[in-house]
């Protein structure tokens, strides 16, 4: 079986000097593709560097995370948009705009919420112009984001670590969007119910490392090897063979990110 990690933060400082071991962990675990999601301009640049250093395994998603809205440097939005535009034409490992989105936890004032909306809009327009899919952070804002997205002409949408109401899933699937889930698939009742109800054709696996997890993952550094137990959990919940699940997720990854992963 071959596995994919559609959402990990390889450019996060917590991985730092451990990148080599994380890459080896991916290879040893048959994880054939990982998307390094960015959080700001600095991590966007590093994600591109990692994609260049590990071609065919690491792919880059560039963008500004909503938790960084309150401390942007003067030209950070413009420079990040420029970076996306520059590398979208060269196709040097850039496969998506992300991680972008909205989060009320980081936008408690009206000013911060409006700034989140502004940055989200800039990132979505950058994705439009660059013909790239988007990877979206939607905690506490799933309904608002679903209202906004039809205003843009997007090549694809991934709602990562989707934690919204299962009642939103039919709308998500009807639009051809994807959701991804990670290690909480093994132990969270809410995540497991979402997996039961989402079509496997609209599903991807992720780790969201370096975020730490509970259950059997407690006390361990999050690495791509966590994908295998996620696939096993999905297979159990959907009453499918593990190979079927892994193969369909690989196909979904290829379709969303338009990369020929083998």
Domain coordinates in residue numbering, the chain:
3-257
Helix (H, G, I), strand (E, B) or coil at 216: helix
What digits encode the pLDDT tens for the residues 144-190?
Answer: 999 999 999 999 999 999 999 999 999 999 999 999 999 999 999 99
Instruction: Yes or no: say if 44 and 18 are a contact pair by the CB < 8 Å rule.
Output: no
Instruction: Yes or no: say if 231 and 205 are a contact pair by the CB < 8 Å rule.
Output: yes
Topology classification of domain 3-257 = TIM Barrel (3.20.20)
Give the C-alpha separation, 182 to 190, whole Å: 12
Residue 262: predicted pLDDT: 80
Q: Which residue, 194, 196, 203, is CA-closest to 255?
A: 203
Residue 91: predicted pLDDT: 65
pTM of the model as a whole: 0.97
Give the C-alpha separation, 198 to 234, whole Å: 11
Query: What b/e sequence results for 221-234 when a residue is b if at least 16 CB atoms lie within 10 Å of its CB, and e otherwise?
Result: ebbbbbbbbbbebb
Residue 69: predicted pLDDT: 87
Spans of the chain below 70 pLDDT: 91
């Amino acid at each position: 079986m071959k596995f994919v990690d559609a959402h990990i933060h390889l450019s996060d400082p917590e991985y730092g000097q451990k990148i080599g071991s994380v890459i080896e962990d991916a290879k040893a675990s048959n994880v054939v593709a990982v998307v390094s999601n960015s959080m700001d301009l600095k991590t966007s640049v590093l994600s591109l560097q990692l994609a260049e250093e590990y071609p065919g395994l690491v792919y880059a998603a560039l963008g500004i995370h909503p938790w960084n809205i309150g401390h942007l440097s003067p030209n950070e939005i413009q420079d990040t948009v420029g970076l996306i535009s520059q590398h979208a034409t060269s196709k040097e490992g850039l496969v998506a705009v992300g991680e972008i989105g909205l989060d009320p936890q980081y936008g408690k004032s009206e000013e911060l919420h409006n700034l989140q909306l502004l940055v989200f809009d800039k990132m979505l327009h950058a994705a439009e112009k660059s013909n790239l899919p988007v990877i979206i952070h939607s905690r506490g804002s799933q309904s608002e984001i679903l209202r906004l997205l039809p205003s843009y002409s997007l090549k694809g949408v991934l709602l990562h670590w989707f934690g919204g109401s299962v009642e939103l899933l039919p709308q998500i699937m009807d639009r051809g969007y994807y959701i991804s889930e990670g290690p909480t698939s093994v132990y969270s009742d809410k995540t497991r119910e979402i997996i039961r109800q989402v079509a496997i054709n609209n599903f991807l696996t992720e780790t969201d490392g370096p975020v730490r997890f509970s259950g059997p993952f407690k006390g361990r550094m999050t690495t791509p090897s966590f994908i295998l137990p996620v696939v096993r959990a999905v297979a159990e919940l959907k009453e499918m063979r593990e190979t079927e699940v892994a193969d369909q997720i690989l196909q979904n990854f290829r379709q969303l990110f338009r990369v020929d992963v083998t």
